[in-house]
């Protein structure tokens, strides 16, 4: 890690003509592999490429290790984990971006809005669920979808999160209905057109809400579209992209991890401009353990597939819970040199602020 940091610093001096720490980021893109701990990335590389350390994340980025503990627990849920990353404050599990007395903690997305940048959140998960919600809402319980989602069109800073592209349509519409809110009546007059499919969302969209259901939401296409749209703001943008890596189906999860890694590579090398800080972090790890396996043999044997959830007996043992060990943080672009060594998850927030050159 130290060596890689040194190499990165030398490259920054040679090729960018600046000392590390001098170049500011115009844009920040934060990728979250939800539950994508190191053990998962290791297995994804072996499953996808037949060898360890073949992911872009493991080859081409500055890396550090982040503690993920919550304020009240060594093992975090996604709400406390993401709150720490986007606000710099540890909270109790279940809480989204606010203090124990209910005072909102200002999120990195809100800082970006305050500075006139464009902002977006993309996820295959419900857009009122913990990871995206921690970016734009403040609430004492992540379960309160009916309180979370309307905060999109009642922003505290700037004109609010511009692009909301992802899942959870049915759950969110039901929760809004219980709060007597009709999305298509409430959001468009406030400035957010509501779309039914990713294809409908124009590349020139200044604001958009897209909610879908099902497993086939294309996070990579949505992220690419969001980058095209947000890049139109000359002041820059903040984009959060979550791709869930909880191992419901192990094989799919490992393939998703590789797809997320490819998306990060595409973003760092092609999709985003060079003045973009591209960050990856997991909000927490998961009980995925490589316990055996031979070079040249497939990691996941079809005969084992149905038994993965039981864990223990196969090459890849998969439990049922989040775990508390440190997770990978990886960075590419201006400000990436700040990612090094062991750190608390709250430092990721500080790294993003510092990359823009902003003060708390």
Compare residues 78 and 93 and give the one whose CB is closer to Zn ion. Answer: 78
For 111, phi and psi rounded to 5 degrees? -60, -45
Q: Shortest gap between Cβ of 223 and Zn ion (angstroms)?
A: 18
Beta pairing class for 163-167 and 208-212: parallel
> What distances in angstroms separate CA 234 from CA 224, 231, 273, one per listed residue?
18, 7, 12
Q: How many residues bind Zn ion (CB under 5 A)?
A: 3
Compare residues 25 and 95 and give the one whose CB is closer to Zn ion. Answer: 95
Going residue by residue from 68 to 87, which x/- string records binding to Zn ion, judged by CB under 5 A? ----------x---------
- Would you state the structure tokens that stand for residue 291, as one six-digit string? 């316990």
Q: Shortest gap between Cβ of 286 and Zn ion (angstroms)?
A: 8
For 157, phi and psi rounded to 5 degrees? -140, 145
Compare residues 227 and 348 and give the one whose CB is closer to Zn ion. Answer: 348
Q: Shortest gap between Cβ of 51 and Zn ion (angstroms)?
A: 27
Compare residues 283 and 326 and give the one whose CB is closer to Zn ion. Answer: 283
Residue ranges in 259-288 that form contacts with Zn ion under rule CB under 5 A? 283
Residue ranges in 282-321 that form contacts with Zn ion under rule CB under 5 A? 283
Pair 263, 56: CB distance under 8 Å: no
Q: Which stretch binds Zn ion (CB under 5 A): 12-20, 33-41, 232-240, 323-331?
A: 33-41
- Would you state the structure tokens that stand for residue 135, as one six-digit string? 């970016």
Q: Extract the runs of DSSP E, i.e. beta strands, from the chain.
A: 27-34, 62-67, 118-126, 163-167, 194-195, 208-212, 237-244, 276-281, 285-290, 316-323, 327-332, 341-344
Q: How far apart (Å, rounded) are the C-alpha atoms in residues 304 and 99?
A: 45
Secondary structure (3-state) at 206: coil
Going residue by residue from 141 to 160, which x/- string records binding to Zn ion, judged by CB under 5 A? --------------------
Compare residues 193 and 324 and give the one whose CB is closer to Zn ion. Answer: 324
> 277 has which bridge partners?
28
Residue ranges in 157-216 that form contacts with Zn ion under rule CB under 5 A? none
Q: Shortest gap between Cβ of 8 and Zn ion (angstroms)?
A: 28
Of residues 5, 25, 26, 34, which one binds Zn ion by CB under 5 A?
A: 34
Q: What is the distance between the terminal CA atoms of the chain, rounded to a whole angstrom? A: 28
Q: Which residue has the tokens 């790294």?
A: 351
Compare residues 265 and 283 and give the one whose CB is closer to Zn ion. Answer: 283
- Report the residue number whose CB is nearest to Zn ion: 78
Compare residues 113 and 129 and give the one whose CB is closer to Zn ion. Answer: 129
- Would you state the structure tokens that stand for residue 130, as one six-digit string? 């913990």
Q: Shortest gap between Cβ of 94 and Zn ion (angstroms)?
A: 12
Q: How far apart (Å, rounded) are the C-alpha atoms in residues 193 and 260?
A: 28
Q: Shortest gap between Cβ of 72 and Zn ion (angstroms)?
A: 16
Q: Which stretch binds Zn ion (CB under 5 A): 26-34, 233-241, 287-295, 312-320?
A: 26-34
Q: Shortest gap between Cβ of 82 and Zn ion (angstroms)?
A: 7
Compare residues 93 and 118 and give the one whose CB is closer to Zn ion. Answer: 93
Q: Shortest gap between Cβ of 136 and Zn ion (angstroms)?
A: 17
Compute the C-alpha angle 219/222/223, nearest 5°. 85
Q: Which residue has the tokens 């090094």?
A: 340
Site for Zn ion, rule CB under 5 A: 34, 78, 283
């Amino acid at each position: 890690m130290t060596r890689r940091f040194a190499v990165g610093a030398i490259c920054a001096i040679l090729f960018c003509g600046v000392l590390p720490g001098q170049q500011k980021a115009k844009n920040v893109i934060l990728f979250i592999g939800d539950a994508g701990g190191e053990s998962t990335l290791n297995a994804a590389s072996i499953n996808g490429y037949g060898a360890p350390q073949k992911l872009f994340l493991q080859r081409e980025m500055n890396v550090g290790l982040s503690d993920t503990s919550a304020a009240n627990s060594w093992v975090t849920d996604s709400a406390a984990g993401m709150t720490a990353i986007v606000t710099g404050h540890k909270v109790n599990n279940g809480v989204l971006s606010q203090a124990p007395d209910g005072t909102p903690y200002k999120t990195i997305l809100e800082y970006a809005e305050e500075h006139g940048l464009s902002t977006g959140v993309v996820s295959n998960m419900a857009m009122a669920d913990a990871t995206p919600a921690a970016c734009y809402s403040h609430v004492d319980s992540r379960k309160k979808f009916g309180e979370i989602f309307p905060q999109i069109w009642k922003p505290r800073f700037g004109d609010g999160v511009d692009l909301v592209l992802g899942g959870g349509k049915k759950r969110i519409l039901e929760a809004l209905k219980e709060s007597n809110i009709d999305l298509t009546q409430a959001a468009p007059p406030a400035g957010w057109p509501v779309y039914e499919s990713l294809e409908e969302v124009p590349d020139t969209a200044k604001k958009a809400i897209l909610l879908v259901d099902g497993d086939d939401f294309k996070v990579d296409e949505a992220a690419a579209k969001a980058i095209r749209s947000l890049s139109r703001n000359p002041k820059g943008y903040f984009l959060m992209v979550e791709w869930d890596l909880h191992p419901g189906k192990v094989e799919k999860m490992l393939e998703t991890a590789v797809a997320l890694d490819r998306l990060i590579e595409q973003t760092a090398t092609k999709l985003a401009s060079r003045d973009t800080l591209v960050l990856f972090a997991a909000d927490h790890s998961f009980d995925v353990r490589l316990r055996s396996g031979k070079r040249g043999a497939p990691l996941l044997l079809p005969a084992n597939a149905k038994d993965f959830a039981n864990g223990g007996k196969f090459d890849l043992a998969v439990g049922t819970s989040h775990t508390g060990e440190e997770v990978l943080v990886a960075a590419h672009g201006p400000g990436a040199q700040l990612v090094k060594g062991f750190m608390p998850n709250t430092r990721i927030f500080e790294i993003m602020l510092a990359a823009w050159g902003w003060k708390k």
